[in-house]
A = this chain, B = another copy of it.
Amino acid sequence: METIRRTKIVDLLQKKKEFGATVDVKGWVRTIRGNKYVNFIHLNDGSTINNLQIVADVEKFGEDFFKPVTTGACIHVVGKLVESQGKGQTMEIQADSVEIYGTADPETYPLQKKGHSLEFLREIAYLRPRTNTFGAIFRIRHHMAYAIHKYFNDNGFFYFHTPIVTASDAEGAGSMFQVTTLDFNNTPRNDKGQVDYAEDFFGRQTNLTVSGQLEGELGAMALGAIYTFGPTFRAENSNTPRHLAEFWMIEPEVAFYDINDNMDLAEDFLKYLIRYALEHCKDDIEFLGEHFDKELVDRLQFVIANDFVRLTYTEGVEILEKSGHKFEFPVYWGADLQSEHERYLVEKHFKRPVILTDYPKEIKSFYMKQNEDGKTVRGMDVLFPKIGEIIGGSEREADYDKLVLEVETNGAITPQEAVARAANIVNQHLDAFMVLSEDELSVEVPSIFAPEGAGKNTDLDKQVEELDLSVRSYNCLKRAGIHSVRQLVEFSENDLLNIRNFGAKSIEEVKDKLQSMELGLKP
């Protein structure tokens, strides 16, 4: 007996053992039921979502033996693998011996044979990997991670570990977590009373990475083609499917690729992953389809069977403008597209994944290759049904002079914006003199959401430029078509959080500004 090695349930169910063989299984009891002759145990060992049926004669084990074996108990069974007589399974084990490793008191063990809400499972995070839902998600996540590595390895990409703790902010992709060994109670300070980061672990202020792109590009310029696949961090307190404080991101960087190569890679990569999932995670995907999203399998099949649509941002905006659809956020050439726009193109108009390219320069990063039109850059977003943007990328600018110009003007604002802001600063200085010669003017335009009495508030006429916001917040507002304070107060906190890159920090900033003018966001 001792020499039989344990077999995983997934291997038994895939018929890696012959009927009649004596097998050794270990796992956790999902359910147990019986009568005075026989007990039926459904055993799960995590290797698959499917359970193995154990049949144990009452006569053989005694009437009391299985009393402590309840849902959640951990047992070790040796027995004969036989064809199942009953419905619902093709095989079962006739138990010769059962060892009880651990019991789970039904009075206190929280996972019983019934559906539990995700909210409840959140309270018992240490046990929820044992549920079908989380088990399925974790197994699929494993297979997807493996497929990602396999895809890149088979295609000649090198896995590149970029730093997690860094002093770089990459492209300014989001708010950052500080990493420090300094003490809040005994903070070293320099002559000017500033925090002396020379005393910190790395001799400077450091944070958790928001992107490995910069280091990845160095890797690609040496190894030809690399990819990163590691944790990435955003200190943004917005609970949306798009934002997690800690998440794993994939960033391929390839020398000599143009925008078409990027699109080919993105489409081939996604289709490979979906095919891999349908092949290796069939049972888990079917479980999720049945319980969470009936169209899941069909949608995945459809995506791999059809070409992705490739069209320019300009064409996309035209379709949206002509659609007659009433969007929450306005659509016009130059606007950063919102989820509702992206999903309209994918789910309503084309009914398949879309790769949008050639975005306006102003709403994309400085390092994207400029087209000859002087207005658009070779960026691409892959838009996926039910998700929206799933991949973003670009051909990189390789014109050294253009890059220098972009970096030196900071890249975050366009020349027009720079001029507008400069003019505004001059204007503010002139303000002091203007009151000397003019009476105060106030135009009353009632605003629904401004606080009472705000109708008389002349600050409502201020332009966003005059609020002295951070570049990030300012750009986000402008991209969302919010140009004046009067417009701004019509938005709620949640509305603003839906603007890409607009996080909790920006919210605080805007609220502070409004408060200083005795105004506030729409409740």
Contacts and interface: CB of A to CB of B under 8 A. Distances in A.
Contacts of A45: 224, 255
Contacts of A11: 156
Nearest to A5: B261
A10 B208 CA distance: 35
- Identical copies in the complex: 2
A202 to B, nearest CB: 8
A462 interface: no
14 contacts: A101-B398, A127-B218, A129-B223, A134-B222, A135-B222, A145-B149, A161-B231, A165-B246, A177-B179, A178-B179, A184-B195, A201-B237, A201-B245, A230-B230
A233 interface: yes
Most buried by B among A145, A158, A208, A235: A158
Contact of A255 (B26, B181, B182, B202): B26
Interface residues of A, number: 67
A225 B8 CA distance: 10
Interface in A281-296: none
Contacts of A202: 245
Interface stretch (A32-40, A60-68, A136-144): A136-144
Contacts of A160: 138, 142
Nearest to A220: B46
B224 A46 contact: yes
A221 B159 contact: no
A280 B186 CA distance: 52
Contact of A158 (B130, B138, B179, B180): B138
Contacts of A221: 129-130
A146 interface: yes
A149 B154 CA distance: 14
Contacts of A26: 255-256
A164 B231 contact: yes
A219 interface: yes
A141 B161 contact: yes
A177 B165 contact: yes
A86 B101 CA distance: 70
Interface of A: 6, 8, 10-11, 26-27, 45-47, 76, 101-102, 126-127, 129-130, 134-135, 138-139, 141-142, 145-146, 149-150, 153, 156, 158-161, 163-165, 175, 177-182, 184-185, 187, 195, 201-202, 208, 218-219, 221-225, 230-231, 233, 235, 237, 245-246, 248, 255-256, 398
Of A101, A130, A184, most buried by chain B (CB within 10 Å of CB) is: A184
Nearest to A26: B256
4 cross-chain pairs, A with B, having the tightest CB-CB distances, nearest first: A129-B222, A46-B223, A46-B224, A142-B158
A54 B164 CA distance: 40
Contact of A165 (B46, B182, B233): B233
B146 A153 contact: yes
Contact of A219 (B47, B129, B208, B233): B129
B235 A161 contact: no
A138 B156 CA distance: 13
Given A129-B221, A145-B161, 15 more contacts: A45-B224, A46-B255, A47-B224, A127-B222, A139-B158, A139-B223, A142-B153, A145-B149, A164-B233, A164-B246, A165-B177, A177-B181, A178-B181, A179-B208, A182-B184
Contacts of A233: 164-165
Contacts of A145: 149, 159, 161
A159 B146 contact: yes
Contacts of A101: 398
Most-contacted residue by chain B among A26, A202, A218, A222 (CB, 10 A): A222
